[in-house]
Structure 1
């Protein structure tokens, strides 16, 4: 399988191995080195050596070997279904769609090709991060996807999330109005952060305190008004209450990249292996029936167990 990438602006005269291992963390540094030594990596059409340097704008192409699909959590459930639409309760640890080694290990592929019966025309309406659980909408035809997509774009869809966070907010409810964009200067390509000026997009989230969990954690209900990448995770980290288990927003770049190689639980994760964030409810106007439609997904076991552990402290 041949894949290509354009080196982004934050990489300047960086060793090819460092670039690949930093940007594409699904393979270890040792594996990337092996692929370079096998002459399976090129930069601007030239075969790379282990000492090759890359910079912004270079085109890096990788002839990747075929991978066995990685183990993923396929314990999703269909919580709503009609002739136009599916409502899915997605577990943490399952990508909604993907490429590379996850090309067959994701929700949309499984719905189209592995589910019985298959949903051959399944199309994602919205997305959740791989390690966020909860409601996902999947259209069964292009017109439904288009109409529901308009509602999301116009901020007409009501979403409610539940999260376990570090610390207890001083106010029982509040609004976080901070622009979100690509974290400037970060070595981690997926990291977002609060970005003022160019590069930042308007992002607004409301929160309510459901209950303190012991003296050092809290259970929050969250209402994102906009839908920026990692919005809730960034907003909560920015106000000093990062989500429990969120490795990306509780670690610096180097620590996170090291953690990605092993993905071992650490004490700050409180026994959970992902961010404790769940989309519990999505409400919208059904694009075909024009009726108000509410789809709910109960809290998963790992979050219920986390809440119980923290309450007992």
Structure 2
């Protein structure tokens, strides 16, 4: 667990892929928040759920990158309000299948649970339950041979699987995404998880004011990019 920033209010880590943020019925132990609590026991009791102490936002299990945990209730409330008001600036890097035609764009498509598979979300077709607005801005960073595009993404809302669902919906699923790539599922250069990384997060802190947190792209994703550039 790499700590990228800490002060009296927060701990920010570069979350590794393959680790769940908090316990649930599928992953009762060895979660990121349990690791953090072992090192920073003061987070116990912070927040709204004893199983998620200090957790103000989440990343999917196989998504790496910046994750912030509050160290006290004041910071928790302060940060949760920012996520609720959508003043937090989130930036992700993703490698997608296909050559993205538009260099910049906005995906404005509501997201709900898939009617065919309750573990999945959908932005098109049959959906069940509440369907919520969702918006993601994107821009192309780099094109690769073989039909891949590296994109920078800025989710403006925080729906479950939002980036993965939106990129699938416009025809460019994220590389190695087991849940959403479908027939276009491909994992180049030995990659064994989806290519999605939370690279930066801009928030305001109670004591320090605005701060920009950055997480370096991990080795497994960098290896894929190097392989594509040298192909």
Structure-2-length-normalised TM-score: 0.89
Residue 78 (structure 1) aligned with residue 3 (structure 2): yes
Distance 2:12 2:98 in 1: 33
Give the secondary structure class of the aligned counterpart of 1:199. strand
**For the residues of structure 2 that align with 1:171 and 1:137, how far apart are their CA atoms?**
32
Higher strand share: 2
The structure 2 residue matched to 1:191, chosen from 120, 124, 127, is 120
CA offsets per residue over residues 4-45 of structure 1, 9 Å max, x none?
xxxxxxxxxxxxxxxxxxxxxxxxxxxxxxxxxxxxxxxxxx
State how far apart, in whole Å, the 1-side matches of 2:81 and 2:26 are: 31
1:112 aligned to 28, 33, 37, which one? Answer: 37
1:94 aligns with 2:19: yes
Q: Which residue of 1 aligns with 2:56?
A: 125
Alignment map for 1:202-213 (pairs within 5 Å): 202-213=133-144
1:145 is aligned to 76
Q: Which aligned pairs between 1:209-228 and structure 2 lie closer than 5 A?
A: 209-228=140-159
SS of 1:110's partner is helix
In 2, the alpha carbon distance for the partners of 1:240 and 1:195 equals: 12
**Candidates 268, 276, 285, aligned match of 2:195:** 276
**Partner SS for 2:182:** coil
Measure, in 2, the Cα distance between the counterparts of 1:224 and 1:310: 26
| 2:163 equivalent among 232, 238, 241 | 232
CA distance in 2, matches of 1:292, 1:100: 36
Shift of 1:147: 1.4
Q: 1:294 and 2:219 equivalent?
A: no
Task: Give the superposition deviation at 1:290.
Answer: 5.6
Deviation at 1:101, TM superposition (A): 5.5
Q: Distance in 2 between matches of 1:112 and 1:285?
A: 23
Over the aligned positions, Cα root-mean-square deviation in angstroms equals: 1.9
2:227 paired residue number: 309
Q: Which string of whole-angstrom CA distances, capped at 9 and with x for unpartnered residues, describes residues 194-253 of structure 1?
A: 15886321000011100002240011000001110000000001111000010100138x
**8 Å contact from structure 1 (residues 214, 312) kept in 2:** no
1:142 CA drift (Å): 1.8
Residue by residue over 1:33-64, the C-alpha shift from the partner in whole angstroms, topping out at 9 and shown as x without a partner, is: xxxxxxxxxxxxxxxxxxxxxxxxxxxxxxxx
Give the alignment's TM-score, normalised by structure 1.
Answer: 0.67
Report which structure shows greater RCO (CA 8 Å, sep ≥6).
2
Contact persistence 1:77–1:89 (CA under 8 A): yes
The count of aligned residue pairs is: 220
Q: Which runs of 5+ in 1 are unaligned?
A: 1-75, 253-265
Distance apart, 1:269 and its partner CA: 1.4
Compare CA radii of gyration and give the structure with the larger one. 1
> CA–CA distance in 2 between the matches of 1:284 and 1:99?
27
**Change beyond 3 A, Cα 1:163–1:110:** same
